[in-house]
């Protein structure tokens, strides 16, 4: 399927992009791309990492200037490219992963920042809050407008951002959401989907950028797929199935999306007992050589704090951590964990793992393990080895001397994962390893995880994506309120049981309590 499929499409267009092209340093990031967003349509925009999605959005937002191409809004009105003011004037609103909300302010204040309603400085707090509550309620969102955003669920924060965008745009706004659910737990995404559908039904036109295939099928009317900067197809979602969509994105058929096999072993490589520290109380786990342990839960449940504590990125107040035969000291540091053979790729790769102004080679040689396959490489072999790893995970560009900052978000992620995979650790801790990574690269990451598992490493995957954790792990622990509330393996390891345990006391938890 490489051309536009025939099917019903909403008319008229809220946004029509034609022949858009943009290059960076002589390389095309977008090439002759057409894209049409219907009025009252949710249009998903997909493509592998580096396929040009962000570039397209940044052009619409006035951040980049294209070499060629034109954009028209409703009624064929030309849209002045290269100006943030023109984008705003035309009713375009952008919601990025970080949502652009201010956590210290309450909902009413956040809505006021976007001039979401006719708030005036002399309006009393009470009236302002009432106006904010009404604005939210008109989209079916019921929140106390006086509560700071930091105290709301992730989905509520995202909904405040969306309502603000809907209200501050003109009537029939055009909203571009760029991986808005990236940091949302799966079960909260449903709340966001409902809001987006309500907004669409009231005439808003929505561009939904994502790597999550199920979102396309739950939400979108049509999907446009980019590959290597070119449009591959625009297709009504009702005419597609998942394998076809994967093929459009990757250009090939992928049969097993989660290829992690585990190797039989009895040796416990990571053993954690009674771990307590910020966000975690009395957690125990053990991982055998050649095994994958998943750790999951809702945001705020402590599933992510757990891996930070194990690595020594947060201070533990009690509990024991053993890697093989060595016991790590109570106040162990990340350096001591690395020394003991641990690798950790945290979720916040931009601030915690990658140095944007360094080359890919420099970023990939950051962890200095005393032993392991990369310990004693000459500069030339190092360059060659880095290039091999970049090629394995399909990092684009694959030039070891390219700066990390010049890569798309997903490609930066692959570099950080590749860095740890090549360092020859015994215990791999991965937090949200495939968030923001395209479907083809996900498979590549899991293939490489399978390879390290096959070599006898122990892998811990901490992720809020319950489905993925269940499909790649042979055992999953579920956390709630800082405690391990379920330990699932074998026939008991199902998405339903893990989700139920994450949300409330489940049969799995009762079983655990009875053990
Ligand atoms: N500022 C820049 N300087 C140099 N190259 C860039 C710059 N921004 C983007 N590129 C390149 O343009 C191409 C398209 O990148 P873009 O960020 O649009 O991809 P994307 O589809 O959004 O990827 P992801 O899913 O990983 O976020 C990539 O090859 C990227 O390396």
DSSP 8-state symbol, 462: E
* Helices 495-503 and 186-201, packing angle to 10 deg: 90
- Set out the domains of the chain in order of their start, with CATH numbers: 1-91+175-253 (3.40.50.300), 100-168 (no CATH), 268-354+425-514 (3.40.50.300)
Give the Cα separation of 415 and 200 in Å (integer).
37
Please give the pLDDT value at position 512.
54
Give the per-residue pLDDT at 370: 45
Residue to probe by mutation, ligand 1, list 24, 359, 412, 438, most atoms within 8 Å of CB: 24
> Going by DSSP bridges, is the β-strand pair 174-178/92-95 parallel, antiparallel, or unpaired?
parallel
pLDDT tens string for the chain (515 positions)?
A: 444 444 554 467 899 999 999 999 888 999 999 999 999 999 999 998 889 999 999 999 989 999 998 887 776 778 788 788 888 888 889 988 778 888 888 888 888 776 644 445 445 677 778 888 888 888 888 888 888 888 888 888 888 888 888 877 666 689 999 988 877 776 678 888 989 999 898 889 999 999 888 899 999 999 999 998 999 999 999 999 988 998 898 887 666 555 565 656 678 999 999 999 999 999 999 999 889 999 998 877 899 999 999 999 999 999 999 999 899 999 899 989 988 999 888 876 555 567 888 889 888 876 554 444 445 556 777 788 889 888 887 888 889 999 988 888 778 878 887 887 777 788 999 998 887 778 877 887 887 778 778 778 899 999 988 888 998 898 999 998 899 999 999 888 988 888 888 876 655 555 555 55
* Run of H or E residues at 344: strand 342-345
For residues 338 and 450, give the distance between their C-alpha atoms in angstroms, rounded to a whole number: 21
DSSP string, 155-178: HHHHHHHHHHHHHHS-SS-EEEEE
> What residues line ligand 1, using a CB cutoff of 6 Å?
24, 29, 47, 49-55, 396, 406-411, 438
**Nearest CA owner, ligand 1 atom 3:** 406
Pair 146, 129: CB distance under 8 Å: yes
Question: Which protein residue's CA is at the shortest distance from atom 1 of ligand 1?
Answer: 406
Q: How far is the CA of 53 from the centre of ligand 1 (A)?
A: 8
ipTM of the complex: 0.97
Q: What spacing in Å lies between the alpha carbon of 27 and ligand 1's midpoint?
A: 10
Residue 259 confidence (pLDDT): 57
Give me the pLDDT at residue 140, please: 84
Taking the CA of residue 56 as reference, the ligand 1 atom at the shortest distance is: 18
Rg (CA), the chain: 24
Closest protein CA for atom 5 of ligand 1? 406
**Total-model pTM:** 0.72
The rounded Å distance from CA 181 to ligand 1 centre is 20
Q: What is the pLDDT of residue 132?
A: 84
Would you tell me how many other CB atoms lie within 10 Å of the CB of residue 10? 17
């Amino acid at each position: 399927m490489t051309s536009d499929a025939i099917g019903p499409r909403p008319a008229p267009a809220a946004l029509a992009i034609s022949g858009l092209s943009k290059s960076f340093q002589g390389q095309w990031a977008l090439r002759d791309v057409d894209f049409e967003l219907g009025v009252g349509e949710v249009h998903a925009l997909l493509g592998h990492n580096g396929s040009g999605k962000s570039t397209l959005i940044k052009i619409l937002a006035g951040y980049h200037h294209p070499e060629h191409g034109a954009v028209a809004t409703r009624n064929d009105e030309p849209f002045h490219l290269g100006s943030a003011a023109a984008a705003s004037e035309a009713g375009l609103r952008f919601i990025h992963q970080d949502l652009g909300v201010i956590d210290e302010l309450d909902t009413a204040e956040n809505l006021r920042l976007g001039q979401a309603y006719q708030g005036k400085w002399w309006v009393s707090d009470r009236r302002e809050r009432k106006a904010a509550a009404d604005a939210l309620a008109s989209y079916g969102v019921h929140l106390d407008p006086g509560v700071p955003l930091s105290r709301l669920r992730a989905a509520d924060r995202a909904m405040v951002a969306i309502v603000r965008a809907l209200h501050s745009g003109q009537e029939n706004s055009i909203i571009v959401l760029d991986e808005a659910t990236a940091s949302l737990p799966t079960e909260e995404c449903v709340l966001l989907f409902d809001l987006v559908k309500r907004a669409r039904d009231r005439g808003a036109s929505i561009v939904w950028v994502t790597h999550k295939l199920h979102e396309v099928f739950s939400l979108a009317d049509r999907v446009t797929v980019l590959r290597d900067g070119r449009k591959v197809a625009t297709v009504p979602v009702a005419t597609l199935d998942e394998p076809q969509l994967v093929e459009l994105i990757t250009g090939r058929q992928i049969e097993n999306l989660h290829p992690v096999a585990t190797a039989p072993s009895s040796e416990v490589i990571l053993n954690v007992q009674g771990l307590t520290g910020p966000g975690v109380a009395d957690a125990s786990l053990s991982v055998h050589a050649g095994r994958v342990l998943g750790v999951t839960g809702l945001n705020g449940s402590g599933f992510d704090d757990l891996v930070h504590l194990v690595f020594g990125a947060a201070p533990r107040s009690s509990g024991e951590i053993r890697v093989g035969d060595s016991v790590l000291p109570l106040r162990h540091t990340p350096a001591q964990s690395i020394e003991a053979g641990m690798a950790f790729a945290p979720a916040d790769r931009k601030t915690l793992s990658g140095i944007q102004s360094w080359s890919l080679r420099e970023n990939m040689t950051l962890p200095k393990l005393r032993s392991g396959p990369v310990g004693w490489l000459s500069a030339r072999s190092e360059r060659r080895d880095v290039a091999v790893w970049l090629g394995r995970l399909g990092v684009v560009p694959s030039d070891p001397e390219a700066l990390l900052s010049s890569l798309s978000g997903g490609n930066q992620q692959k570099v950080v994962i590749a860095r740890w995979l090549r360092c020859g650790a015994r215990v791999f801790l991965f937090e949200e390893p495939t968030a923001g990574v395209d479907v083809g690269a996900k498979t590549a990451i899991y293939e490489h995880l399978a390879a390290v598992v096959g070599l006898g490493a122990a892998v811990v995957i901490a992720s809020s994506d319950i489905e993925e954790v269940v499909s790649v792990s042979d055992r999953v622990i579920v956390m709630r309120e800082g405690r391990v509330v379920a330990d699932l393996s074998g026939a008991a390891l199902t998405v339903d049981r893990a989700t139920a345990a994450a949300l409330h006391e489940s049969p799995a938890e009762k079983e655990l309590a009875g053990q």
